Each structure stands twice: as structure tokens, then as C-alpha cells.
Structure 1
């Protein structure tokens, strides 16, 4: 009995020591949501732009970000991590740590509704409602393996953060269209984004904004506009409905589909946009075809 009491005491000492001094977070909040981990993380990043005294200090792939917020003299880290627990549901865990008052928070959180605890719950609840509202405004349907279109196009090369993609399109839409129309170049389809580099860790992309055109021997030469042929590729395909600013949510759905089905893919999405956002209307009626190309075998 004495040995058992000593063992139990040792276990309790270790557990308390871990909780007070080693545990990464002072308080953890969990919730489930019907979407992908990537969409959750991008929603945290987008929400963060609207918050004062807040920044994303760590981004680990598509399933974890750390948001640091300031409340008076307190500096608080919110560590969002997410993983899919079945085909459609993601479990989100938010570990909250006050960098200035961690020890006292760990002592009081289990026994009282302190300001730290109530504020943490309120902030995560706010994000959950924003995320749920966002998910009501988009629709993604993965349809399986299809072929991307083969076209000739005029394009400009751009780069920036993922969230800036739509702005880059809007800045260049009129310019490309005016150059092509004034030189009697015949268009041959809807605008396309061809991502050439997707750096998930830095949340940034390089991409070509393309206008499909009829092939011609008399194409205008400018400093920015170039021409190329997009070749047909096998790819996982999804239909996206919603605001084009967040069409990258379909990228994460395609990545999850590839992971589930053991398909090797290139992280170079292709997007085809069928609606002009300047015309307004219900954003759920806006449509885009999104493709994630299959990895090609290296030539011998």
C-alpha cells in the first residue's frame, strides 16, 4: 500500500508540474465544423486583418496558425490547430496562452470564470460565428478526375498573398482587355488563373492571370503581356460557388480529396471564372472551375 501511495503521489506531482509549467496553453477550446482544415486556417488569417493589435506570428502548413493579440498590458497567443476527423468534419482546437499571466491563469481557470477565461471563450465564439457565416456563403463540390482545357492565352505574371489574388485580377482585367480589344485580338473563353508557385508556409502565390484568345500571328507586344499555350492535363476538379476572393477554399478541398484517395498532385491550382464580379448578383450564383493537376511522371 505504501508503494502504491508513493506511486500515486509521484504521478500527481508530475501531472501538476506538467499542467502548471509545461503545458503549452493556459486554456483550450474545441469545436467541430463542416469544412477543411485549410479553410479554417485561411478564415483565421482573413479575420485577423480586421482586428486591431493582432497579427499572425506562426503558420505551420495548412492546419495550424498562431494569432497574437494584445489586450491592454496582456499579450495573448491563440494557437489554432485543425484536423479532419471524417470525410467532412474538422475538429478545431484553440490553445490560449497569456504570455504575461500564464501561471495565475492556470491556477484560476479550473475554478472560476476569470476575465482571461471569459474573454477567450468570447473571442473563439466570435471566430466560430464568422466562420459559420462564411461557410454559408460558399459551396464546393469535388467531382473527381477531369482534364483541364487546352487553350492559347494572353497573360500577365503576378505574385502576392493568397488573399490578394482577386485584387490582382481586378487591377489587370481592364488593362489586358483593352490592349487585346484595341488590337482586334479575339477572346476565346473566360479568364483563368494559373498558379505557378504556392508557398503554403508564407501564404503566398505566384500566378499567371490569363485571357484565352484565338491564335493569331499579329499579337500586340507590350512590356507586361505575354502569350503561351496551356496544355491539357489530368487534374482533380471542383466546382466553386461564391465570392472569388475566397475561391482558394476549393484548393484545400482538392488537397483533402487527393490525400484521402492517395493521389499525388502538383500544388499549382488552375481556376476558370465564369462571372464578372462587377455585375454583382448573388455570390452563390458565381461559378468557377478549380483544378489541381496530377503529378506528372518525370520524363526518362
Structure 2
């Protein structure tokens, strides 16, 4: 066998192996990639919120098959006889840029799409580009509603507070606070205990996998306040916290976007943070005004290990 034939046979074998991998092993039919200036956790939450809206607007039912906070989500989507898989890889690039790779697979027409999508502007390809473009636009619009400044390492102040303990999923923290605001402020008013500062939220446990939090909703009061025993409203010192700080400007409903930014910053700079957060709300949303001027100071403590 001549050298030329050996080369041809070698390339033919490699091409056949490539075809087998591409048509039968490769997990996605088509891939869309883009970059945004957002924290990985913000994008992770955005994907889930977008999926919920797709159910309302497009009757598409999304089920999470696998996830890894905050850089990976694999979903199955069903609508009538359509069955798709979406694999979202969220890749942190630097302090302001994250890359999103979306792998898409049509479980009913996978081989056809793999053959046609690279070369032709098929209906499948057009639909997926439109869908991911809509997601990107929605995410970009959301990012205009808040600003985050990383302030670096710092400490909080010790503060004496009245508080109530609450639990919620991460996305409903603000709603939970609002629902219980009258409970704690009414108790303080009834017992003539004066509030002397803006409220805090002390997150005592943040379960990243379940996306739930245990937190104390706190109001500063004079440390010499006469303690009134109660089953719900308690009193204590918020201790000094040493950690990584940020300033968040925007609606308190999405202040967790600053948490995600701090986590990305810590990961890049090899800093270890606890799954706890202290937020100090310096603006009163009940006064209205421009949300981008509502200021919140946030600190996530360093781990003691």
C-alpha cells in the first residue's frame, strides 16, 4: 500500500469517527454563545425566571434535569409534541463579563438538525436564535435596573436590634419582609420602642442548592431599650462582621444580585466566603423615588477556616 493510500485511509477513518461522534454522541444539535456584563448568579436566576415566563407566554414547560450553582443548568422543555433539551454553561470571564454557551437539542429531530443547522437557515435554527436573542434582551433590560459597586474588604458595625426570624426562597425575600413589616413595626410602636435607624437583613443560612434562606428582619433600637418578652419579636446585638463588601443601588427585591457579584469577585481573588449575608437598607422604598438611587450596603463574611 502506497503512502498516499495510507494517508487517504487514515483521513477517511478519522472522518468516519468524527461523523459517528457528531451525529450520535454529540449532545447538542446547535450552540449559541454570547457575553454579558453580569454575575454568574444573576444569569443563573435569570434563566429560571425566563423559563417560568416561557410557560406563561409560550406554553413551554421547563424541567430542570441537572444544575450546578451558579454555572450550569440542563433543562428539558415540552410543548405539545415538541421536546427539547437546553444546556446552559455560564462561564465567568472577569469582574464584569460572563460568557453564556447554550447547547440546544431537539429530541425528535436531532440528526436532521445536526446535518442542516451548520449550513442552512432552517426553521429550527431561526427559532432557537430568536428565543435566545429574546432571553438576552430580557436579561440586558433587567441589568439596567440596578448598579453594583464592589467596595473590597471591610467590617460592619455592631448594632442592637429588634428582629423577627423568617424563611423564604431567595427570590421572595423582599415579599416576605413586606408581608411581615407591619408585624414588627406594629409591635415596636405598641410598646413605645423607637426605631433609630434603617433596617437590616441578617441571612443566617443560605442554601445554594435549594435556593432558600433563613434570615432575621431587623430594626435598630436603643441598646438600653427595656426588653418586652414576645414569642415572635426578639432582641439582640448584630455582631461586627468582617468580610467582602458591596454597595447595591436598585430595588430591594433584587439585592441578591450584589451577593452574586461578591461571590464571583471572591472566586477570582481566592477569598473564602460563608453562606451568610448582612444587608443594611439605607433608603425607604415607601417614599418612592428613583430605584437606582435606593442604596443598600452588603457584606458577606469571610469563612473562619
Identify the TM-score tier after normalising by the shorter chain. Answer: over 0.9
Per the alignment, residue 261 of structure 2 pairs with: 253
Q: Which residue does 2:247 correspond to in 1? A: 239
2:193·2:225 contact (CA, 8 Å) conserved in 1? no
Contact 2:203 2:213 in 1 (8 A): yes
**Separation in 1 of the partners of 2:36 and 2:87?**
17
Tell me how far apart the structure 2 counterparts of residues 119 and 221 of structure 1 sit (CA, whole Å). Answer: 61
For the 8 Å contact 1:185–1:219, the answer to whether it is kept is: no
Match of 2:232 in 1: 224
Change (3 A) 1:278 1:70: farther
1:120 aligns with 2:123: no
Determine which of 284, 290, 305 is the counterpart of 1:282: 290
Aligned match of 1:54 in 38, 49, 61?
61
Matches within 5 A, 1:174-189: 174-189=182-197
- Equivalent residue for 1:21? 24
Alignment partner, residue 145 of structure 2: 137
CA deviation after TM superposition for structure 1 residue 111, in Å = 2.7
Give the match's secondary structure for 2:297.
Answer: strand
Does residue 86 (structure 1) correspond to residue 115 (structure 2)? The answer is no
Q: CA deviation at 1:66?
A: 2.7
User: Residues 50 and 144 from structure 1, CA distance in 2 versus in 1: closer, same or farther, beyond 3 angstroms?
Assistant: same
CA RMSD of aligned residues (A): 1.6
Match of 1:203 among 211, 214, 219: 211
**Contact 1:272 1:289 (8 Å CA) reproduced:** yes
Structure 1 stretches of 4+ with a deviation exceeding 6 A read: none
SS at 1:253 equivalent: helix
Is the CA contact 1:54–1:67 (under 8 Å) kept in the aligned structure 2? Answer: no
Post-superposition CA distance 1:203-223 (Å, at most 9, x none) = 222211111221245323332
The answer to whether 1:4 aligns with 2:7 is yes
Q: Answer whether contact 1:68 1:78 (CA < 8 A) is retained.
A: yes
CA apart distance, 1:6 = 1.9
| Cα separation, 2, equivalents of 1:159 and 1:76 | 34
8 Å CA contact 2:162–2:218 kept in 1: the answer is yes
Shift, 1:15, TM fit: 1.2
Unaligned runs of 5+ in 1: none
TM-score (norm: length of structure 1) = 0.93
Could you tell me which of 35, 40, 44 is aligned with 2:38? 35
Contact kept in structure 1, 2:153 and 2:243, CA below 8 Å? yes
C-alpha distance 219-135 of structure 1, shift in aligned 2 (>3 A): same
**Shift in Å, 1:228:** 2.0
